[in-house]
Chain A
Amino acid sequence: MVKLSINNRDVEVPEGTSILDAASELGIKVPTLCHFKLDDFDIESKAGSCRVCVVEVEGRPNLAPSCCTPATDGMKVKTNSVRAINARRTMLDLLLSNHPKDCLTCQRNLDCDLQRLAGEMGLHRILFEGEQMEHEVDRANESIVRDPNKCIMCRRCEAACNVMQTVGILSAVDRGFDAVVMPTNKHSLAETKCTFCGQCVQACPTGALTAVNRSYDVWRELNHPAKFKVVQTAPAVRVALGEAFGQEPGSVSTGKMVAALRKLGFDRVFDTDFAADLTIMEETTELIGRLTSGENLPILTSCCPGWVKFFEHQFPDLINIPSTAKSPQQMFGAIAKTYYAEKADIAPDNMLVASVMPCLAKKYEAAREEFAPNGVRDVDIVISTRELANMIKEAGIQFNDLEESEFDNPLGESTGAGVIFGATGGVLEAALRTAADWLSDEPIEDVNFTAVRGLSGIREATVTVAGKDIRVAIASGLSNARDLLDKIRKGEARYEAIEIMACPGGCINGGGQPSIKGDTSILEKRRQALYVIDEDKQIRKSHENPSIQKLYKEFLGKPGSERAHKLLHTHYTERENA
């Protein structure tokens, strides 16, 4: 332990603690910009490049960056001396000198750390009219816009891309004034092995990395008089959307969300949870098939498009292990434009299927060419939780005052198994509930497989189902997925079923969710909210969903049938690992 004083108050902290963290022990806030820390995931990036967190240390001639200066015994620190404050202002003045001044029309307007700091530090004029950067803006993909001109070289996205996700494409390029964070060889993201998970967008403090905004396209379609407009909402959206309207993290806003979507003008508000139940039917059939034959194990889940693109690039030797089941989003689109279109007597090409997703990779997924049979996309437009929140605000809808509304049927009926897809461990638990029933003589009573729940990066458990031991593993965050896959490759670990989600914690922490601003406790609250919804459901096993049973009876036949394969399964493509 070391003892030091900060602003004349004593504090004792473990050796190695930064001045920044020591100050926070005392409730003293030092402004930061390049510093990036996610406690629950053991991620910390302290490039020390922005110099916004500088403090005065007695006896030290220069100011010290508090995020990367360890506290030492007897240290006397002043965080708010005039000298420190002036230095911070100068740092911001310099950062703003070559930063575009288009805040009013920037995607990050009102959600930008640089903008907020400039406000808090009272910068009311541009002191240095510096030379401006002129890099090309990368808009060549469906998910992420990269505007290098707004990059302040904080390196937070590098930590997300290289450490948290081990995708390894974002790094600084060139030097001096020209230096900017870019993919290798200055390629556009579309040319790289980017998974479009969007964690870099969540990490970026400015408008250098933002999500592709498709809300304008949704508005246009909503104004199309002849079109039949259908929307689906992913599980994780309902436990985060409320945050955008000042609700406490962990609030469940399913009813208000449905009501808002109706007010926006959708003809039918359906639920991706229904398609999650459908995914379980197909995936569990596949799991049991593989368990019976003992071949091609373990089975890996395939709901997460970031994870799918990750293994297509980086683990091509394992390309035959993942389940061939499409993700719930794509299953929904395929069923909406066939089964439902037929039932409701609507021409598929006259139907708009929009998705609200916690995810940016879902935008990319919906545009994959295998998901557009005969050139008609199964899912037409994907917007994120944040885009939906903005649309609700644009429309002047008072979200918190809305009267709750229910999903439409039949594609809105879902079980507790469907909703937990939004958190790490949920897909596997849902599959186990169904597998247990199908393998046993009578239905299981306790559906809570608590061993697979939690937020930690890798979890393992052995679950006994109908007298059979099934070894399972769950990984969230792609660095954890990589560790798990490396073990399987080397034959160091054996499992029958593995669930992987690209974002740490699962979809509740997706690239399209309201920003947690480094506070990972919000994720635990969102996670618990999903399990509360699950507990409250009458039906908690996917195969007991009456609308799912009807769908198979009327249209698909049996799980794994030829028609089910045509509509609900997909294939994977080996991609370049560079």
Chain B
Amino acid sequence: MKVIDTVAGRHSGSRADSGLLEALHGLQAEHGYVPRQEAMALSRRLSVPLARIFEVLTFYSYFRLEEPGRITLSVCDGTSCHLQEGPVLLNALQELLGIKPGEATADGAYQLNVVRCLGCCSCSPVLMVDDKVYSHVEPTDLPRIMKKHPPIVNKESNDDAHSTA
């Protein structure tokens, strides 16, 4: 809500809607995605129809409509990783987690993304878990890697984990 107020204050009057993108960026920075309730509040505050906000959200691939998983697994599909069987690694991860790229597991523990490129082509194929990079990953390595990143039960413990790390 604070983000919305700040942005709305800057773009008032007849051009209130020009603050839309800025506010959406703020919401995504705060929540990791744009929650529906926040989008509705924004719609009221800027007098922009919710439908128009949804249009902007679905136009830019940057914006997320669902809460991301707490641990992010990014499989690189840049040119090098792609040639070094990155797609095989991605398939294995999809099977292991039961989700597709861009989705989170039902318990909200893991988020699977495809990215390009992570800039470590010499280590391809590359898997990044949160901000830790794993090199030359083969499907058989996955159980070992996943063990190092056990699921975090909820958001509070997520914050704890960060503070103790």
A, B from the same assembly:
yes
Interface of A is mostly: mixed
The interface residues of chain A lying within 8 Å CB-to-CB of B40 are 578
Complex interface: stretch among B8-16, B51-59, B95-103, B117-125: B51-59
Bound complex: CA A185 to CA B40 (Å): 12
Number of interface residues of A (CB under 8 A): 16
Contact with A along B8-50 (1 / 0, CB 8 A): 0000000000000000000000000000100010000000011
User: In chain B, residues 50-101, which have Cβ atoms closer than 8 Å to a Cβ of chain A?
Assistant: 50-55, 58-59
Bound complex: CA A169 to CA B55 (Å): 11
Q: List 17 A-B contacts (CB under 8 A).
A: A158-B51, A162-B49, A162-B51, A166-B49, A168-B49, A168-B51, A169-B49, A171-B51, A171-B55, A172-B55, A173-B54, A175-B59, A184-B50, A184-B51, A185-B36, A185-B54, A578-B36
A184 touches B54 (CB 8 A): yes
Inter-chain contact total with CB atoms closer than 8 Å? 38
A578 touches B58 (CB 8 A): no
Contact with B along A163-200 (1 / 0, CB 8 A): 00010111111110000000111000000000000000
A174 touches B59 (CB 8 A): yes
Bound complex: CA A158 to CA B55 (Å): 12
The interface residues of chain A lying within 8 Å CB-to-CB of B52 are 162, 168, 171
Task: Find the A residue at minimum CB distance from B39.
Answer: A184
The interface residues of chain A lying within 8 Å CB-to-CB of B50 are 168-169, 184, 578
Report which B residues bind A (CB closer than 8 A): 36, 40, 49-55, 58-59
Which residue, of A168, A170, A175, has the highest number of chain B Cβ atoms within 10 A? A168
B51 touches A183 (CB 8 A): yes
12 new A-B contacts, CB < 8 A, other than A162-B51, A173-B54, are A158-B51, A162-B49, A162-B52, A168-B51, A169-B51, A171-B51, A172-B59, A173-B55, A174-B59, A175-B58, A185-B54, A578-B36
User: In chain A, residues 483-515, which have Cβ atoms closer than 8 Å to a Cβ of chain B?
Assistant: none
B59 touches A171 (CB 8 A): no
Interface of B is mostly: helix
Bound complex: CA A161 to CA B55 (Å): 14
Q: In whole Å, how far is B129's beta carbon from the nearest beta carbon of chain A?
A: 30
B58 touches A170 (CB 8 A): no
Task: Find the B residue at minimum CB distance from A183.
Answer: B51
B51 touches A170 (CB 8 A): yes
Bound complex: CA A185 to CA B55 (Å): 9
Partner of A174, one of B51, B53, B58: B58
Bound complex: CA A91 to CA B50 (Å): 31
Bound complex: CA A107 to CA B115 (Å): 45
Task: Find the A residue at minimum CB distance from B49.
Answer: A168
Bound complex: CA A185 to CA B35 (Å): 12
Bound complex: CA A168 to CA B36 (Å): 16
Closest A-B pairs by Cβ, 3 of them: A168-B49, A171-B51, A171-B55
Bound complex: CA A174 to CA B56 (Å): 8
The interface residues of chain B lying within 8 Å CB-to-CB of A172 are 55, 59
Bound complex: CA A174 to CA B58 (Å): 5
Which residue, of B36, B50, B51, B53, has the highest number of chain A Cβ atoms within 10 A? B51
The interface residues of chain A lying within 8 Å CB-to-CB of B54 are 171, 173, 184-185
Bound complex: CA A468 to CA B75 (Å): 77
Bound complex: CA A532 to CA B53 (Å): 47
Task: Find the A residue at minimum CB distance from B44.
Answer: A577
Bound complex: CA A201 to CA B58 (Å): 24
